[in-house]
Amino acid sequence: MDAKVPTEQVIRDAVTLACRAPSLHNSQPWRWVADGTRLHLWADPRHAMHATDHTGRELILSCGAVLDHLRVAMAAAGWDSVTERFPTEGRPDHLASVGFLPVANVTPQCRLRADAILRRSTDRLPLGAPPAWPTLHSALSRAVTPYDVTLDVVDDDERPRLAEASRLTEQLRRSDTSYLTELRWWTSPFEADADHVPETALLSSSEAARVDIARAFPPAGGGRRRASIEVDHSKIVVLSTHGDAPAEVLRCGEALSAVLLECTLAGLATCTLTHMTELSLSRDIIRQITGSTGQPQLLIRVGRSPSKDPLAKPTARRPVTEVLEMRG
């Protein structure tokens, strides 16, 4: 293979790492095709959640996150990425085409960022307040700038209002049988499946009661982990775009990846929330709280998990052979 083109093994390793990206209920709604010179990202409708994600917006957000993770993984392997979004007219499922250029030196920061992919996980338990927040807030704002995404932080005074909107969202969902059936299916304990949300990643009723802003999942077990944190003290970050065009949503998913990795590098835990942006009523409330004129796409809880907490078992992913096709 041409030295100016990554080898198949480099591509395979990078895609494997990139697929650690978060996705709605760990659905992993993506597939990759390598044609010998470029790597193509396609949406995989077989992993869409039509009851939860009516418009397919969250599917695109998930794919945006895996796209940015891919660039981080390739940078650590010594390759710069050149991304073309929605390259095929009339094929909205062809989300991106990525070309690569070799770099002479890989910086330590590139390697640290790739390592952060492996350390990041979704933490639904109550979190402590993040230290040195003003400094991190500035770093997060810089991280989303290349994607034309707005980052807002919910004021502590507005948190009760946001928590009420979260509860309202869940109340409205209780009468949606299609949504509830889909949620139960994606959280059922299928040990052999490499998608779904594992039971270990869900909360017991007593644990969930200490987190005021969260999606209501079926309760798991009767434990009381992290009992030292009686109330969630995370900061709530909102990512918004000007509109809901697919290209804007894809970029927001990329920005999500950048924010999560920045938080992980800072030693903090995160939990991405999309339940309130799935319904127009709660989405409007978020917009009022932030004072933004854009479209809220997702929220992120950012906080500190106790250092004595055992390391979370990595959530399973589909094998790379299921998500990557090598051609040429």
Which tens digit of pLDDT belongs to each residue from 87-114?
999 999 999 999 999 999 999 999 999 9
| Contact (Cβ atoms closer than 8 angstroms) between residue 306 and residue 226 | yes
Predicted confidence at residue 37, as pLDDT, reads 95
**CA gyration radius, the chain:** 19
Instruction: Provide mean pLDDT across the span 175-194.
Output: 84
- Percent of all residues in the chain with a pLDDT value above 90, rounded to a whole number: 88
Instruction: Report d(CA 65, CA 123) in Å as an integer.
Output: 17
Predicted confidence at residue 198, as pLDDT, reads 86
Phi-psi region of 272 (alpha: psi -120 to 50; beta: other; left: phi over 0): beta
- What angle in degrees, to the nearest 10, is found between the helix axes of 280-290 and 159-173? 170
List, in order of start, the domains of the chain with CATH numbers.
8-120+317-326 (3.40.109.10), 133-303 (3.40.109.10)
Instruction: Provide mean pLDDT across the span 281-294.
Output: 95
Per the model's pLDDT, the better-predicted residue between 198 and 100 turns out to be 100
What's the predicted TM-score (pTM) here?
0.96
Predicted confidence at residue 4, as pLDDT, reads 85
**What digits encode the pLDDT tens for the residues 31-84?**
999 999 999 999 999 999 999 999 999 999 999 999 999 999 999 999 999 999
Predicted confidence at residue 222, as pLDDT, reads 73
Instruction: Kindly give, in sequence order, each residue whose CB lies less than 8 Å from that of residue 272, ignoring residues fewer than 6 positions away.
Output: 22, 122, 256, 260, 298, 299, 300
| Contact (Cβ atoms closer than 8 angstroms) between residue 31 and residue 67 | no
Strand 324-326 to 150-153 pairing:
unpaired
Least confident of 153-157, 187-191, 196-200: 187-191
Instruction: Kindly give, in sequence order, each residue whose CB lies less than 8 Å from that of residue 135, ignoring residues fewer than 6 positions away.
Output: none
User: Which residue shows structure tokens 């709604």?
Assistant: 29
Query: Does residue 151 have a pLDDT over 70?
Result: yes
Predicted confidence at residue 41, as pLDDT, reads 99
Paired strand residues for 299: 238, 273
Per the model's pLDDT, the better-predicted residue between 224 and 180 turns out to be 180
Predicted confidence at residue 192, as pLDDT, reads 53
Half-sphere exposure of 172 (CA within 13 A, CB side): 14
Predicted confidence at residue 193, as pLDDT, reads 65
Encoded tokens for 119: 């350390």
- Percent of all residues in the chain with a pLDDT value above 70, rounded to a whole number: 97
Strand 30-34 to 324-326 pairing:
parallel
**What digits encode the pLDDT tens for the residues 117-129?**
999 999 999 999 9
Average pLDDT, the chain: 95
